[in-house]
Chain A
């Protein structure tokens, strides 16, 4: 018998429900690294982009010579250390 493979379909309400379920899970998960445990993350050597002026130059040198571009750096912060 010939087997017909149907594309995997998920309804929009199911996707929304899944996303809400995943996100609502966050409310029950406590932050596991407390602020007083972030002294090492707050060390200047752990900063993303310790020297912004140098990072600008590094990115400029690369972008001028390579086809790839973008997604450099980070959204900043994150450790809530200060």
Chain B
């Protein structure tokens, strides 16, 4: 019998016809303000702020002018002060985040892949979830003093839960029909975990990672308030004592940049690990 199916389907691997955008559209102020003009209001704010400072309306003790902040940033970069303290902060949050991801993932695997594991692990983490992390700070200081350990521990504790919770629910929400199909094709339990459960739980893990990186930076700020002798938080504390609002604003910028970078990193990772998702394929 002649096989009727070949080449009857459109070839989706070729690019679709491109959409041409009319670049000669007349300029329209409302449309410009609604779409491309998003950067205007921040610039206006900066200009008002600078003007207010120059006219003496805003005292440098309250808030340094943007130009002064830029000057402080530049001199801190030149002196190496900024980078050395940034390195200390990065090492702290990196260590807390790294250990948190490993431990959180490990616990999620134990609880997600076996009922016994869930019974053993889940109650502990639920109890932990009920305690506000920052409330643990005094106890951590009593136990570990004011060195690096309590700071890293604080970040670690804050990271474990979002990773655990999201990976655990990711594992448990894997489509049972896929698992059943895998079973019908003779996959061993181990192969089911590697080929079906873990990739299926990956979207959950990425969500956890996003919460974890955000949390790590927030806890870094809190942890560095504990008598630091180095780090961005140490710079802030010093600047506070000398009322150097320019340095404080520089440090705020650094924290914001850290947050943006972490988010970008997670997005990049998401794009790589979840490139099979329909929304990402069509994007």
**Are both chains from one complex?**
no
A residues in contact (CB < 8 Å) with B: none
